[in-house]
Amino acid sequence: MLSITREFRFEAAHRLALAHLTDEENTEIFGPCARIHGHSYRLRVTLSGTTNAFGWILNFSELKKIVYQHVLSEYDHACLNELHDYRNDIPTAENMAKTIFRRLEPHLQGPNYRLLRICVHETENAWASWEADHALCS
């Protein structure tokens, strides 16, 4: 299988908390992440497919445009908890990977390619991935 990956960076804040719990209960479950805090996120978008007449799966410039239009225009410098995407979900790396995949999938399907994987890095050492048809942690 042939694949391409483009990495993006964005800044965002979030808080891990359940609305029905007190601040103390949320701190017990989520630790310091129950307070609002920020990350310098890395987002990796991977497509799989075959090369076209130009020798690429998809022009990296086109991939960049699609990701900015459908994800980063909202996520960059946002408080993720305030986004519609996380109205009913906690903005964990896992939920972000799944949500971003679902946002991008309709826009990243062509005659020779499809969206394969989304990987969201909160830190250098902590990330979550969502892959087509099933979840992965890698």
Question: Does 14 count as an annotated binding residue?
Answer: yes
Question: Does 70 count as an annotated binding residue?
Answer: no
Tokens of 52: 């076209």
> According to the model, what pLDDT value does residue 14 have?
98
Give 7-23 pLDDT, tens digit per residue: 999 999 999 999 999 99
> According to the model, what pLDDT value does residue 1 have?
86
Q: 73 CB contacts (<8 Å, ≥6 apart)?
A: none
Give 48-102 pLDDT, tens digit per residue: 999 999 999 999 999 999 999 999 999 999 999 999 999 999 999 999 999 999 9
Question: Does 37 count as an annotated binding residue?
Answer: yes
What is the Cα–Cα distance from 44 to 86, expressed in whole angstroms? 20
Tokens of 135: 């979840």
> According to the model, what pLDDT value does residue 137 have?
39
User: Does the reported pTM lie above 0.85?
Assistant: yes
Tell whether the model's pLDDT for residue 38 goes beyond 70: yes
Instruction: Give the residue numbers marked as catalytic.
Output: 33, 77, 122
Q: CB-hemisphere CA count at 13 Å for 131?
A: 7
> According to the model, what pLDDT value does residue 30 have?
98
Question: Average pLDDT in the 111-119 region?
Answer: 97
CATH fold of 2-136: Tetrahydropterin Synthase; Chain A (3.30.479)
Q: Where are the domains of the chain?
A: 2-136
